[in-house]
Chains A and B, each alone.
Chain A
Amino acid sequence: MNVFEELRDIFKTVFDDEELEIAPEMTARDYEDWDSLAQIRLIVETERRFGIKFTTQEMNGLQNVGDFTKLIEGKLS
């Protein structure tokens, strides 16, 4: 499974934006609709798709999409 590709699909679903492209260095400041509620929806949808669970500490440590990708990969390995 390509985690980054799946994550891109999750972003498109959550933001209902088929044109949305993500990059490892992307943060919430780079996308207007990426607010606190969207962040919750991203987490929930990612947990559902990958069948994993995050802790509060893990979520608080995330800086960008790249961090998120690595966190998911770590949980799947």
Chain B
Amino acid sequence: MKNQWTNFYTGYVIVKANGKGTERLINALLKKGIPIWDVKRAGTDSLVFCIDLKEVPKLRETVRSSDCKVTFISGKGGPFLLRRLLKNSGFLAGSLAFLVCLFVLSNMVWGIEIHNANPETEYAIRKELDKMGVKIGKVQFLLDDVDTIQRKLSDNVSALTWIGVELKGTTYHFQVVEKKQPKAEKKLSPQNLVAKKKATIADMFVEKGQPMIKVNDNVYKGQLLVSGIIGKEDTPKVVSARGVILGETWYNSTIEVPLKSNFSVFNGDEMTKHFLSIGNFSLPIWGFKDPGYKHFEKDTTVRPFHFLKWELPIGYKTETKRSKEDIVREYTPAQAHKEAAKMGRADLKKQLPADAEIKKEKILHTTNQNGKVKLIILYQVIENIAAGQPIIQGD
């Protein structure tokens, strides 16, 4: 027997035959090899049966040579469904438009939530986000990715120690840890001032307390500079010693500068390609040219599309090629010397507090070996060497 499930897809018609020789009509159809099914008697002179849609012309032929009349009752199956679907295409278009809307809306930013921030910091963060374009209603994959937002925020908002950025669905969550500003020192806690390091006193300005040293004295680390105990010996008074003691300190540093060094630098040429990535496959949509860089670094970012809470395997991918150039830098020994001195100074500045000042530098030793210039330099620095030391009053 023939499989009949395919009939549904190719379509079939329900036919009513009226007349005397309905059986003869069926026999005639059988002879022509036209399959029919579900034959039912609908009255004394009429039959109802089903026939394939593509056999209808043959049916007409057969009917003409018989004494029956045929009427079509209804059509079933694929082609008829399709026609009805087209007739009601409004529904189809509507449901499609709904899916598209849902898809677009799932890829937008719908909320920015900042946790654990005080109002000022929150305001600063919001302002910074606005500058980056992270706003409600923006399309997610056109914005920076989470890591970049995190980096930019922690670079640009000074009050932040750390910020965690998380994208949950359509909402950005920012988890803020603020810098604790040091509390103002208690003015009343009694203290001495002691030397932070070995130095020669260059200048001093004592606001409060009893100075124990003079200018040009050599002091060692931990030596008492300004005492917080003032007044007569028999009636001492304890105060919080304050002041600036400028001492001359010494720093030794060794700097090595190679005469010849290789650098790899970006020369600023870059080229971005845009792709639509589907699974592992990338469909280029913009930027087809090959820039032809000899050396380059490739940055690839993939921003997946979302549908409701799900991440789709489809995404928007950009690939940036940055041209690189190798540069060889060569110094003459004299230049290297100069460079080393500059580097040494810069290094030292980084170590020293902001108010320190490099007074003098003296090159102790220079060697030029193995293509490297090595300098040992002694720096004389003027800096504040006073450090508070609380006075613990026992009985």
Does chain A bind chain B? Answer: no
Residues of A at the B interface (CB closer than 8 Å) are none
Residues of B at the A interface (CB closer than 8 Å) are none
